[in-house]
């Protein structure tokens, strides 16, 4: 049993006849596989028979005839011999690379322009908010001056005696054509 070291562990652990197994590896014992008509091996899981659990794969060396192959197929690599096409392919790759770089540059310029436009929009928005706040402060200051003058003229005693809309007439006024509604932000643009 000098060839026992070449036997795989899973075959050593099964309850196979080890002498018969060594004989298979030496070529002394023939294995006749149980196969069906299509060549599939039929395995009976209920037996520990060596013939039922071992398949023999034989190696063979096939000689090919170069003449027969050349009759059916081109054996020379002609597509790699044309250097003009190779240079043309490299030029096409360079063109594609250049187009890609140009596209990236254009995208970068557009991205920078978009960033600048966003900053301009932000500044303009801040200016509009500032103008709106200034207009509201001016309106309130104007109201305060007019109401103060009306109080001095005796048309009322406090700011609550006057209407909130321009021309800030006294609330007791019977003039219906001057009846205006209150607008707390008269210069503000309504959101759309």
Residue 37 lies in a domain: yes
pLDDT score for 177? 53
- The H-or-E segment that residue 170 falls in is none
Distance CA 160, CA 143 (A): 12
Residue ranges making up the domain that contains 152:
148-173
Spatial neighbors of 183 by CB under 8 A, at least 6 apart, are 165
Q: What is the pLDDT of residue 13?
A: 62
Distances (CA, A) of 46 to 33, 34, 43, 62, 139: 16, 15, 9, 38, 103
Residue 48 belongs to some domain of the structure: yes
Residue 107 domain-assigned (yes or no): no
90 in a domain, yes or no? no
Question: What's the number of domains the chain is made of?
Answer: 2
- Mean pLDDT per 10-residue interval, the chain, length 192 residues: 59 71 78 80 73 72 84 74 63 86 93 91 86 83 84 82 78 56 59 52
Closest CA to 168 of 152, 179, 184: 179
Task: Record the pTM.
Answer: 0.30
Q: What digits encode the pLDDT tens for the residues 124-143?
A: 888 888 888 888 888 888 88
* β-bridge partners, 35: 41
């Amino acid at each position: 049993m000098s060839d026992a070291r070449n036997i795989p562990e899973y075959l050593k652990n099964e309850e196979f006849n080890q002498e018969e197994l060594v004989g298979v590896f030496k070529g002394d014992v023939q294995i006749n596989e149980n196969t069906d008509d299509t060549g599939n091996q039929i395995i009976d899981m209920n037996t520990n028979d060596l013939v039922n659990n071992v398949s023999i794969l034989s190696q063979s060396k096939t000689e090919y005839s170069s003449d027969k192959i050349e009759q059916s197929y081109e054996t020379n690599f002609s597509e790699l011999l044309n250097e003009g096409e190779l240079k043309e392919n490299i030029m096409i790759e360079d063109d594609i690379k250049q187009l890609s770089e140009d596209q990236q540059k254009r995208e970068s310029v557009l991205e920078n322009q978009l960033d600048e436009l966003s900053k301009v929009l932000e500044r303009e928005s801040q200016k509009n908010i500032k103008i709106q706040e200034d207009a509201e402060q001016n309106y309130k200051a104007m109201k305060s001056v007019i109401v103060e003058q009306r109080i001095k003229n005796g048309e009322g005693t406090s700011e609550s005696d006057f209407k909130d809309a321009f021309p800030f007439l006294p609330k007791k006024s019977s003039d219906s054509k001057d009846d205006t509604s209150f607008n707390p932000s008269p210069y503000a643009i309504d959101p759309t």
